[in-house]
Amino acid sequence: MRLIVIGGGIAGLYSAYYTQKKTAAAGQTIHLTILESDSRWGGKIATDRVTFDDGQFIIEGGPDTFLATKPYAAALCKELGIGERLHGTNPHQKNTYVLHRSRLLPLPDGLAMMIPTNIRAILETRLVSWFGKARMGLDFLLPPRPLNPNHSGAGGDESLGAFVSRRLGRAAYENLIEPLMSGIYAGDGDQLSLASTFPYLRDLELKYGSLARGALEMRKKSPSTPGSRSAFLTPTTGLAEIVEKLVERLTSNGADLRLNTPVSQISNIDSSYFVELETGSTLEADSVILATPAYVSASLLGSLDPSLAADLQSIPYTSTATVTLAYRQSDLVRPLDGYGYVIPRREGRRALACTWTSTKFPHRAPDGYALIRVFVGRAGQENDIPWDEHGLFELAKEELLLTIGISAAPLLHRTFMWDKAMPQYNIGHPEILKRIDDALEKYPGLALAGNGYRGIGIPDCIHSGKLAVEKILSHVTARNEAVSSLAGEIASPHRPGVLPGKNGSQ
């Protein structure tokens, strides 16, 4: 089999790795090629390691950690031999703050799956007014909205903002849930599809009649024991360790890895696919996995299947950026006593969140130094952002001055701009996915992987790679079985029960 994987982000690299693993286990040979347009592997995973004053700053330009409760990323690290290098977040300073009327207020304790479960903490928080708190209490009384496909939105879906507002009230949505959700999707909660982003919230409503009751029940079923592992994990010197190990394995197992190789188009004739490169040359394959952003896959498939391409193109993406700045601890005006803060949309700031990296992961800055990362860009606000290195640096410094009072010049800074990086699973996303899946049935040798479809986090992207490979391998197995049964028929045409002449032309 000849397989080409397009895109060398985590989804593409994992697809290639998993293909090698499965085919080796089955004793099959494979000719595997991975094509990446950029000059480095990893896509959104980009770690910069900067030696400084006998120590090192570990600067993540994209993701800085992955969710451990979805097992795929941690399991992969174990397989790659870096399981022991995974660190959790700092258990000693776990505060997260929310910017509220320009001041930092702590997120109340007891949020389970984003839902408040600690009544005392809710009563004490100043993030929601007394009226807002009373409205949150109605969650225990309001009946669940019955299942009715015509109720709101296509297929019964509704926006995350509408759902949380009808259960907990608008104040809880805007001050608690929206900023947390924004940190994941950089999205607009009033557009995001509940079914595609947080389907378990609707499940809790239907099963327990109340979000808080449901979250409490779930918490009882899986209590976090003292000393239990952090919900978020990351390798010692950054997420690039995963990428480096994958590339090492792929190379040593004979894959053909090509950087600086943008693909421009895919076509097919019968069961063969032709992958055209921007250089003008063409590679032929039996199967292709597109692990590129959905809009890139759309342009690559535009001439093969315009209607599939139109659906892929209709998945919107938001641009984001991160600016990481390093300071002397002595330059700080307030202690960085937590993981950082999130900024609700209603605050009208251009930054989305700020991570206090050297507190969240103390080993990521040398002793005596602080590392801070400002996250910029959210759906609907892209025009407010200066998309150049200098403008983003100035924006980040302004944010730190306004909120935590840092006026000193940073010792170093790194800016990463991510053009159209975060897919937005808006209302209608499940229907788009259904049409894409239906269209792909016509192409058993073609599969999609990556963050554009069923999960944006690293574990989801890894899982998407696994599913893509399974589709391709089941097609190959079916084809091989058909070939061997045909070969069997040719070798022994007189099968029992099929008498020559009785069945027509035999």
Ligand X SMILES: Cc1cc2nc3c(=O)[nH]c(=O)nc-3n(C[C@H](O)[C@H](O)[C@H](O)COP(=O)(O)OP(=O)(O)OC[C@H]3O[C@@H](n4cnc5c(N)ncnc54)[C@H](O)[C@@H]3O)c2cc1C
Q: With CB under 6 A as the rule, give the number of residues binding ligand X.
A: 36
Q: Which is nearer to ligand X, 195 or 353 (CB)?
A: 353
For ligand X, which residue of 3, 4, 5, 12 counts as binding (CB under 6 A)? 12
CB of 283 to ligand X, least distance (A): 12
Distance CA 212, CA 113 (A): 10
CB of 205 to ligand X, least distance (A): 26
For ligand X, which residue of 10, 115, 447, 468 counts as binding (CB under 6 A)? 10
Per CB under 6 A, which of residues 346..385 are in contact with ligand X? Answer: none
Q: Which is nearer to ligand X, 209 or 262 (CB)?
A: 262
Task: Verify binding: residue 292, ligand X, rule CB under 6 A.
Answer: yes
Closest CA to 350 of 386, 325, 316: 386
Task: Verify binding: residue 6, ligand X, rule CB under 6 A.
Answer: yes
Distance CA 263, CA 279 (A): 9
- Which residues are CB-contacts of 263 (< 8 A; sequence separation ≥ 6)? 6, 35, 37, 275, 276, 277, 278, 292, 300
Other C-beta atoms lying within 10 Å of the C-beta of residue 320: 23
- The pair phi, psi for residue 143, each rounded to 5°, is -70, 155
CB of 36 to ligand X, least distance (A): 5
For ligand X, which residue of 136, 246, 263, 376 counts as binding (CB under 6 A)? 263
Q: Which is nearer to ligand X, 38 or 109 (CB)?
A: 38
CB of 305 to ligand X, least distance (A): 17
Q: Which is nearer to ligand X, 8 or 169 (CB)?
A: 8
Task: Verify binding: residue 233, ligand X, rule CB under 6 A.
Answer: no
Which region among 10-18, 111-119, 407-415, 498-506 touches ligand X (by CB under 6 A)?
10-18
CB of 377 to ligand X, least distance (A): 8
For residues 472 and 32, the answer to whether their CB atoms sit within 8 Å is no
Cα end-to-end span (Å), the chain: 33
Distance CA 158, CA 161 (A): 8
Task: Verify binding: residue 11, ligand X, rule CB under 6 A.
Answer: yes
Per CB under 6 A, which of residues 320..339 are in contact with ligand X? Answer: 320, 322
Which region among 38-46, 167-175, 356-364, 496-504 touches ligand X (by CB under 6 A)?
38-46
Question: What is the token pair recorded at 309?
Answer: 């391409």
Q: Which is nearer to ligand X, 132 or 459 (CB)?
A: 459
Distance CA 249, CA 251 (A): 5
Burial of 28 (0-12, 13-18, 19+ CB in 10 A): middle
Task: Verify binding: residue 191, ligand X, rule CB under 6 A.
Answer: no
Q: Which is nearer to ligand X, 171 or 304 (CB)?
A: 304
Task: Verify binding: residue 235, ligand X, rule CB under 6 A.
Answer: no
Q: Which is nearer to ligand X, 208 or 274 (CB)?
A: 274
Residues in contact with ligand X, shown as a per-residue x/- string from 419 to 458 under the rule CB under 6 A? --xx---------------------------xx----xxx
Which region among 194-202, 361-369, 417-425, 470-478 touches ligand X (by CB under 6 A)?
417-425
Q: Which is nearer to ligand X, 71 or 335 (CB)?
A: 71
Distance CA 423, CA 404 (A): 31
Amino acid residing at 179: P
Task: Verify binding: residue 5, ligand X, rule CB under 6 A.
Answer: no
User: What is the full DSSP assignment across 163-228?
Assistant: HHHHHH-HHHIIIIIHHHHHHHH---TTTBBHHHH-HHHHHHHHHHSSHHHHHHHHHHHSPPPTTP
CB of 416 to ligand X, least distance (A): 7
Burial of 358 (0-12, 13-18, 19+ CB in 10 A): buried
> Could you say which DSSP state residue 154 is in?
G
Give the alpha-carbon dihedral of 444, 446, 450, 454, to 10 degrees: -30
For residues 22 and 377, the answer to whether their CB atoms sit within 8 Å is no
For ligand X, which residue of 4, 17, 34, 36 counts as binding (CB under 6 A)? 36
Amino acid residing at 390: H
Q: Which residues bind ligand X (CB under 6 A)?
A: 6-12, 35-38, 43-45, 62-66, 262-263, 291-293, 296, 320, 322, 418, 421-422, 450-451, 456-458, 461
